[in-house]
Amino acid sequence: MDLEKFSLEFEDDFNTGRFNESKWLPFYLPQWSSRRSTKPNYCFRDGHLVLQITEDQKPWSKEFNGEVKVSNLQTGVFAGPLGSPFGQHRFAKNLIVREEQPFETTYAPKYGFFEIRCSVPDIGTDNVFALWMIGLEDEPHRSAEICIVEIISSKQPKQGATIGYGLHPFGDINIRDEFYEDFFDFDVKDFHTYAVHWTPDYVDFYIDRQKVRRINQSPDYPMQFMLNIYEVPLVGHNSNHNNYPREFIIDYVRGYQLNAQ
């Protein structure tokens, strides 16, 4: 991917060793739970952000998502009134706003090139590691997802890697579900870059700056980042046997905009 025609407009390389409140909001979909209950666990190590699931961490929303735990940073939040069904990322039909949220964004671009450089040092058993983009959902149809990278522990082969990426529509009737889980001959324990070039007509997906697929459809509204590690307990596996903390190491997250012609 040639970035000479792009200008860098968002970057966090995490080398200050401090959380940057001007770029990230430290919670996960708090409208379906609360900001307090969805605060992420993380640290900084060797100039990297390390998102963690810790041994004593509680599920983020037992009411709506069971025993799932998550540490997440995001760049926007929107929700309707308390008790209403309106809010970002309606992943289940019975969702109800449990804590009202002010509408705020730190970064919500429309089109561009976006990438993460990251590693998963211990793939584990029931974890998911991801960077994705979602619509602000300030209008209900602005709800699609562009998944830049999703690494699911239980789907990893003994050698190589299975990487998920693609589009999910959620409430956007103009987007059809088009998601892929492909094999790549590398080790997710090493640092790799995962990226998308999002245009008005298509979304191209890249790994280590090499294009792996084009999807010929595109959301047409601003989208925010969701950066996270999950623990999603598998049937038949006791998560108490996990080696904690579970960790997702991020070197940087960047966003570029195409220069004016």
pLDDT surpasses 80 at 235: no
Residue 234: pLDDT band with limits 50, 70, 90: confident
In the numeric block, the tokens 């401090």 are attached to 18
3 state SS of 214: strand
Give the pTM: 0.95
Report the run of H or E that residue 250 belongs to, with start and end: strand 246-258
The predicted pLDDT at position 4 comes to: 86
- What is the DSSP code string of 153-180? GGG--SSSEEEEEEEE-TT-TT---EEE
| 123-157 confidence digits (pLDDT tens) | 988 999 999 999 999 898 999 999 999 999 999 99
At 216, give phi and psi (nearest 5°).
-90, 60
Q: What is the pLDDT of residue 195?
A: 98
pLDDT at 15 over 90: yes
pLDDT confidence bin for 238, thresholds 50/70/90: low
Beta-bridged to residue 130, according to DSSP, are 150, 228
Q: What residues does each domain of the chain span? A: 10-258
pLDDT classification of 239: cutoffs 50, 70, 90: low
Q: What is the CATH number of domain 10-258?
A: 2.60.120.200
d(CA 206, CA 211): 4
Tens of pLDDT, residues 96-114: 999 999 999 999 999 999 9
How confident is the model over 64-79, as pLDDT tens digits? 999 999 999 999 999 9
The whole-number pLDDT of residue 241 equals 64
In which element (H, E) is residue 204 found?
A: strand 203-207
